[in-house]
């Protein structure tokens, strides 16, 4: 059975960019007569807003985007992530490098803007240094075919470097949590914004090391504001106006290349991923 999911971070209200990802995921699941799960990715406690998760849930309900089963919260799943770290002991090591030290010795910037770690602590910690982050040894390449963006390939060691599994503040890293959660929830299809496309190879690499299944991926264009920035709380994205929910749905469908309608049942019947523009980002519909 098809199992999809929507996994927002509770850093603020649902905005148009998040609505596009939620709607695409929901339509893909419903058109396949599958299940659609909801997971709140609240691992990053300093960025999370206490009321944001409930606000997102209320917005989805008012828009008619109902989910199946109970809502999962990453902050309550630490035991699963710790178990995964134990399985990765032979592939990971502790790193003592500070952000400045990493920037000074970086091999450049990865596609997602992160510094490429040069493997400074691979062979052991420098004397007198304090343990900071737990890193995964990255080697080889990962190839996969995205349902919309086509064939993707990433040489992890060269393009990403050894990446973090557990951060210096003790928080489990996003890549680890997502790989573990998707498998634990039986997710078969991930539909999300293309701003996360460059993370996918790392998640597949973790899936392989942990013996987990790899879902199919479909990355829809990320929505941009007038300045060409991805819509987010940081770039001033406005919340979805639930009082004008039908109009918001119509705009999201238009962004996805689908026929505009305020009737979700009709949108499910007409859902065609082949009509989605095959690009990583596009201007939000005014």
Per-residue pLDDT of the chain (286 residues; tens, 9 = 90+): 999 999 999 999 999 999 999 999 999 999 999 999 999 999 987 788 889 999 999 999 999 999 999 999 999 999 999 999 999 999 999 999 888 888 777 667 777 777 888 888 988 877 667 788 999 999 999 999 999 999 999 999 899 999 999 998 899 999 999 999 999 999 999 999 999 999 999 999 999 999 999 999 999 999 999 888 898 878 878 999 999 999 999 999 999 999 999 899 999 999 999 999 999 999 997 7
Domains detected in the chain? 3-80+179-283 (3.40.50.620), 92-166 (no CATH)
What are the distances in angstroms from CA 235 to CA 17, 18, 187, 227, 232? 12, 13, 31, 9, 5
pTM, whole model, 2 decimals? 0.94
Supply the pLDDT for residue 24.
98
103-139 tens-digit pLDDT: 777 667 777 777 888 888 988 877 667 788 999 999 9
- Specify whether the CB–CB gap between 190 and 197 falls below 8 A: no
Q: What are phi and psi of 76, to 5 degrees?
A: -105, 10
**SS3 of residue 81 by DSSP:** helix
Q: Which residues have a Cβ under 8 Å from the Cβ of 219 and sit 6 or more positions away?
A: 146, 148, 149, 191, 192, 193, 194, 196, 197, 200, 280
Residue 273 contacts residue 218 (beta carbons within 8 Å)? yes
pLDDT confidence of residue 236: 76
Instruction: Reduce the DSSP state of residue 122 to 3 states and report it.
Output: coil
Beta bridge partners of 263: none
CA distance 117 to 194: 23
């Amino acid at each position: 059975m098809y199992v999809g999911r929507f996994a927002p971070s509770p850093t603020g209200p649902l905005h148009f960019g998040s609505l596009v990802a939620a709607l695409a995921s929901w339509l893909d699941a419903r058109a396949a007569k599958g299940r659609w799960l909801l997971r709140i990715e609240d691992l990053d406690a300093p960025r999370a807003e206490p009321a944001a998760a409930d606000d997102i849930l209320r917005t989805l309900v008012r828009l008619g985007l109902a989910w199946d089963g109970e809502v999962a919260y990453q902050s309550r799943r630490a035991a699963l992530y710790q178990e995964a770290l134990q399985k990765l002991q032979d592939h990971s090591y502790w790193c003592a490098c500070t952000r400045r030290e990493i920037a000074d010795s970086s091999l450049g910037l990865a596609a997602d803007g992160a510094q490429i770690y040069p493997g400074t602590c691979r062979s052991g910690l420098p004397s007198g240094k304090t343990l900071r982050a737990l890193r995964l040894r990255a080697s080889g390449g990962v190839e996969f075919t995205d349902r919309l963006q086509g064939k993707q390939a990433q040489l992890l060691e060269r393009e990403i470097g050894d990446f973090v599994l557990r951060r210096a503040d003790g928080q489990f890293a996003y890549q680890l949590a997502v790989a573990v959660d998707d498998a634990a929830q039986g997710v078969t299809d991930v539909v999300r914004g293309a701003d996360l496309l460059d993370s996918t190879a790392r998640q597949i690499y973790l899936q392989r090391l942990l013996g987990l299944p790899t879902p199919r991926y479909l990355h829809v264009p990320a929505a941009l504001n007038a300045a060409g920035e991805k819509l987010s709380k940081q770039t001033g994205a406005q919340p979805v106006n639930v009082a004008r929910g039908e109009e918001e749905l119509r705009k999201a469908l238009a962004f996805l290349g689908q026929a505009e309608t305020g009737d979700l049942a009709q949108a499910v019947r007409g859902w065609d991923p082949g009509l989605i523009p095959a690009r990583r980002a596009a201007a939000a519909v005014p």
